[in-house]
Chain A
Amino acid sequence: MRLSTLKSRQARRELKWGLIFITPWIVGFLLFNLYPTLASFYYSFTDKGLIRPPESVGLDNYVRLLTRDKQFVKSISNTLYMVVVAVPLGTVFAFITALLLNMKVRGQAVYRTIYYLPTVVPAVAGTLLWLWILNPQYGIINYALSFFGLRSPAWFGSPVWARPAVVMMGLWAVGTSTVLYLAALQGVPQEMYEAATLDGAGWLARTLSITIPMVSPVTLFIAITSVIGTFQIFTQAYIIGGSGGGTTGNPRESLLFYAIYLYRQGFVYLKMGYASAMAWILFLIIMVVTIVLMRSSARFTYYES
């Protein structure tokens, strides 16, 4: 038998067993990812209820969303606020925290644990906790402010302060990004710092010129994943929204985020086709933003290799 035939038979056998091994994943992907995705794309061009057969409406759902739906615009604007404010703040806060936790001090492990703990608190429990912390009359923030003769705002009762309060809640749970930065900081060569010190560079110069560029790949990763996650913010707003299931985006629709409005259209108003159209628009927005971030990353991301 020829060697080439033997090799090709072996390759086919290996391919066969490889496919058998990944079949469970493929089946799961087809049934629970690809099929629902394609189905939702189809439904986005229809008027679909619970069990009524979908009736084609062409581009009506998309046209209505983009031209006549004021709540859609509101939800996009609220979500973009979070992306533009919370993501950079969260990234910077995580970086600074990582720098602090990277310092060789006594109890370093304890501090790292303490700063990571909020990340493992479930979102619902964390939100309820913050509702108490930010209570305008009895919360500890109000208590602390009263020492300086200040009165706390209404926080979750005020449409002006509700979103900053949600941003603040997000800063409390930057543990995952902090851990990523911590790992990246371990990979920065010490020789660079030594050389810079010899050249007379201070702490700030070393941080700006060495640390930040060297961890920039992690910054890019955190930026992209945070943007994707923030575009889908839901749980906190749902809990804070209050009675009736929390899908009104209270107070005064300031917490009417995109995912909240999508949920409301699909599961409260039972407009599955309309909600599907919203889902696809969100997909396009996230894809565009991600592509822009990736394309522009060459300007601010330094890869040592």
Chain B
Amino acid sequence: MATKWISRRAFLKGAVLGGAGLILTACPAPATVAPVVQPTAVPPTMAPEATAVPPAEAPAPTAAPAAEGKTMVFWPEWGGKDADILKAQVDKWSEKTGIANEFLPIRDHTRMIASMSAGNPPDLLMTWDANAVGQWGFEGVLKDLQPYIDATGFDMKALFPIGIASGNLMGIKQIGLPLTNYICTVLYYNKDAFTAGGQDPEKPPETWEELWDLSEKLTVVEGGQIKKMGYGPLTGQVGHPTVYAYAFGGSIWSDDRRKVTPDDEANIEGLKFVRQYYEKYTTAEMQRWATSLGTEADAPTYPIYTGTMGMMVDGEWLPAYVDKITDIKINIGGAYLPHPAAKPEVKGTMGANTNPMVIPTQAKNPDAGFDFIKFISEPANSAEMCLIVGNASPVVEGLKLQIAQTPQPLYKWVLEVAWAEGQVKPLTINSPVGSMYNDAYDRYKLEVIEDGRDAVEAMTALKEEIQPELDAALAKMGI
């Protein structure tokens, strides 16, 4: 007698029902988000070896205690070692408060935007892009932190003004508080290149005029090809739209941020200064040379390390890398960004950025998010983290602690002199059209610098393009 097998139809029926049952029992799956790694130009924040830091002070009492038992979900836009160091602080906070944390480094604005748009954001976000924070704030997806500040007695005077400004929406509300600050415009110079060029290695230029003269002497051109450049006029952090305007004594924004002022005389002067390089060495050769440069500050091929560039504007994190690179001997110094000889009052002007921490409007545990902000703003905690990360503590007392513990002499100068005595200005302005303005500025700037377009005409055209957008955006928000 033949064996009776199950019919194909019956088998398929059973498979479908079984599969449907499996799917139903598997729902809802826990949300897991794999971090997306994207190459960005996020300022590197590696740091010298950590040294002992005084124990944390007793925390200030909180008027609005974080919800115990819940989890605090934190998405910082740091990766690698920096994320590990921040995680250590978050774990310390969890231990202290008894609140678990879900720490997920996310280096992708798209994911952050999608989570806020979908109503399922984390409790705390940190991004290096204050532009984005400003735009998100104007979109209404970030909480006003003032009620938390008031309820918990958070002392805003304990923070440097620039950190507060980076999270403030045109005086309307405070949507972010700084995790770290960092100066982006230190003038680094290669002392060996200075010596080889017959220049005093301990005398960096103080004025733009001196810098131009010095860079001419240090530039080496062979067969029409640039081999070494005395100064990279658009390399490093100096390419940021606000830098040259500040460095020549002006700004591309009005004080109340309601007007864009790219036609500011100081900005025009800055553009003309840069244009000199492209006129002298030709645009094609400058493009070619700039594209060939190493871009990683943690690699021995970085142009300021090798002397390929005699002088370069870069961030305060650079000294932290110098100690770690052992392949070559690096001999660099740091100085203030130069100022125009006719404007000595501009001396010491530096541009800085902040890593703002923000709480999305639909966060499920915002109290815990703010509690961590308070925790990391305690001087000892802030100093402990910033010492390793290589950014400046945004807390006044925290910076003092950090300076006392910093072994690297060049970085110590940045913290002691530049932060304490420099005129530190924000590189990024919170505005609903911040990104659009920056992109358009780049476009017009290159027309001036590479094509030789008249600077006044170009900047006026830029103003005419962006000002209506800003006016419309502010009007829509009722500002």
B127 to chain A, nearest CB (A): 12
Report the bound CA distance from A293 to B476 in whole Å.
45
Which of B41, B113, B140, B292 has a CB less than 8 Å from the CB of A136?
Answer: B292
A245–B107 alpha-carbon span in the complex (Å):
10
By a CB distance below 8 angstroms, the chain A residues around B141 are 50-51
**Cβ-defined contact, B39 with A154, below 8 A:** no
A296 to B239, CA, bound (A): 49
With a 10 A CB-CB cut-off, give which of B38, B116, B139, B443 has the most chain A CB atoms: B443
Residues of A within 8 A of B439 (CB): 247-248, 264, 268
Shortest distance from the beta carbon of B29 to any chain A beta carbon, whole Å = 15
A188 to chain B, nearest CB (A): 40
Contact with A along B73-88 (1 / 0, CB 8 A): 0000000000000000
Binary CB contact string for chain A from 246 to 274 against chain B (1 if under 8 A, 0 otherwise): 01100111000000000010011110000
Q: How far is the CA of A267 from the CA of B289 in the complex (A)?
A: 32
Does chain A have a CB within 8 A of B146?
Answer: no
- Interface residues in A204-243 (C-beta closer than 8 Å to B): 239, 242-243
A270–B132 Cα distance when bound, in Å, is 10
**A107 is an interface residue with CB less than 8 A from chain B:** no
Question: Counting CB contacts under 8 A, is B109 at the interface?
Answer: yes
The stretch that binds B, out of A111-119, A155-163, A173-181, is A155-163
Is A32 close to B, CB under 8 A? Answer: no
Assess the A153–B288 pair: CB atoms within 8 A. Answer: yes
Instruction: Report how far A21 CA is from B40 CA in the complex, Å.
Output: 44
**Contact (A158, B435) CB under 8 Å given A51-B140, A248-B442:** no
Indicate if B290 sits at the interface (CB-CB under 8 A).
yes
Contact: A52 with B140, CB < 8 Å?
Answer: yes
Contact A156 B41 (CB under 8 A): no
Tell me whether A157 and B140 are in contact in the complex, defined as CB-CB below 8 angstroms, given that A264-B439, A267-B109 are known contacts.
no
Q: Is A124 an interface residue (CB 8 A)?
A: yes
A245 to B129, CA, bound (A): 11
| Beta-carbon contacts under 8 Å, B422-445 to A | 435-436, 438-439, 442-443
The docked-state distance in angstroms from the alpha carbon of A171 to that of B99 is 54
Q: Are A270 and B113 in contact (CB under 8 A)?
A: yes
B239, B290, B291 — most chain A CB neighbours (10 Å): B291
A234 to B23, CA, bound (A): 35
B13 at the binding interface (Cβ < 8 Å): yes
CB distance from B25 to the nearest CB of A (A): 15
Minimum CB–CB distance from B55 to chain A (whole Å) comes to: 39
- Complex Cα–Cα for A268 and B136 (A): 10
A124 to B38, CA, bound (A): 9
Tell me which residues across on chain B come within 8 A of A151, comparing CB atoms: 225
Closest to B435 in A: A268
A244 at the interface (CB under 8 A from B): yes
Q: Verify if B50 is at the interface (C-beta below 8 Å from A).
A: no
Q: Which of A21, A24, A157 contacts B291 (CB 8 A)?
A: A157
- Distance in Å: Cβ of B221 to nearest Cβ of chain A: 13
Task: Give every chain B residue within 8 A of A29 (Cβ-Cβ).
Answer: none
Taking A50-B117, A243-B40, A244-B41 as contacts, is the C-beta distance between A156 and B291 under 8 angstroms? yes
Question: In this assembly, does A137 line the interface, its C-beta being within 8 Å of a C-beta of chain B?
Answer: yes
**A interface residue count range (under 10 / 10 to 19 / 20 to 34 / 35 or more):** 35 or more
Contacts of A247 in B (CB 8 A): 439
- Interface of B, secondary structure class, is helix
Number of interface residues of B (CB under 8 A): 37
Q: Contacts A239-B39, A267-B109 given: A154-B288 contact, CB under 8 Å?
A: yes
Contacts of A170 in B (CB 8 A): none
Q: Give the distance to chain B from A78, nearest Cβ to Cβ, in Å.
A: 14
A24 to chain B, nearest CB (A): 8
- The interface bits of chain B over 135-156 (1 if a CB of A lies within 8 angstroms of the residue's CB, else 0) are 1100111000000000000000
CB of B51, distance to nearest CB on chain A (Å)? 32
What's the least CB distance linking A267 to chain B, in Å? 5
Minimum CB–CB distance for A240 against chain B, Å: 10
| Chain A positions 123 through 158: 1 when the CB is less than 8 Å from some CB of chain B, otherwise 0 | 010001000000111100000000000010111111
Q: Which residues of B contact A136 (CB under 8 A)?
A: 288-289, 291-292
Task: Indicate if the CB atoms of B135 and A270 lie closer than 8 Å.
Answer: yes
Among residues of A, the one whose C-beta sits closest to the C-beta of B223 is A151
B41 touches A242 (CB 8 A): yes
In the bound complex, do residue A267 and residue B110 qualify as a contact, i.e. CB atoms below 8 Å apart? yes
Query: 1/0 per position for B438-472, CB-CB distance to A under 8 A?
Result: 11001100100010000000000000000000000
In the complex, what residues of B have CB within 8 A of residue A267's CB?
Answer: 109-110, 113
The answer to whether A49 has its CB under 8 Å from any CB of chain B is yes
List the B residue with the shortest CB-CB distance to A20. Answer: B16
The one of A128, A243, A270 in contact with B139, judged by C-beta atoms closer than 8 angstroms, is: A270
A300 at the interface (CB under 8 A from B): no
On chain B, the residues within 8 Å of A25 by CB distance are none
- For residues 39 through 53 of chain B, which have their beta carbon under 8 Å from a beta carbon of chain A? 39-41
- Give Cα A52 to B478, complex, Å: 14
Q: Are B446 and A252 in contact (CB under 8 A)?
A: yes
Tell me the bound Cα distance from A253 to B443 in angstroms.
8
- A35 interface contact, C-beta 8 A: no
Q: Assess the B292–A137 pair: CB atoms within 8 A.
A: yes
Q: Does A17 contact B (CB under 8 A)?
A: yes
Q: Is B276 an interface residue (CB 8 A)?
A: no
Give the Cβ gap from A238 to chain B, nearest Cβ, in Å: 8
B27 CB-CB contact with A under 8 Å? no
Q: How far is the CB of B479 from chain A (nearest CB, A)?
A: 15
A135 to B153, CA, bound (A): 55
| Interchain CB contact under 8 A, A21 and B41 | no
B361 to chain A, nearest CB (A): 8
Whether A51 contacts B446 in the complex (CB less than 8 A), given A138-B292, A154-B288, A267-B110, comes out as no
With both chains docked as a complex, state the minimum distance between the C-beta of A138 and any C-beta of chain B, in angstroms: 6
Q: Does B287 contact A (CB under 8 A)?
A: yes
Instruction: List 29 interface pairs A-B (beta carbons < 8 Å), by A numbering.
Output: A17-B13, A17-B16, A21-B12, A49-B139, A50-B117, A50-B139, A50-B141, A51-B140, A52-B140, A135-B292, A136-B288, A136-B291, A137-B288, A154-B284, A154-B288, A156-B291, A157-B287, A157-B288, A157-B291, A158-B284, A243-B41, A247-B439, A251-B287, A252-B446, A252-B450, A267-B110, A268-B109, A268-B435, A268-B439
What are the 3 tightest A-B residue pairs by CB atom distance, in nearest-first order?
A157-B291, A243-B41, A137-B292
With A136-B291, A137-B289, A243-B40 known, 16 other A-B pairs at CB within 8 A are A20-B16, A21-B12, A52-B139, A136-B288, A138-B292, A154-B288, A155-B291, A239-B39, A243-B239, A245-B38, A247-B439, A248-B442, A253-B443, A268-B439, A269-B135, A270-B139
Measured CB to CB, the residues of A under 8 A from B are 17, 20-21, 24, 49-52, 124, 128, 135-138, 151, 153-158, 239, 242-245, 247-248, 251-253, 264, 267-270
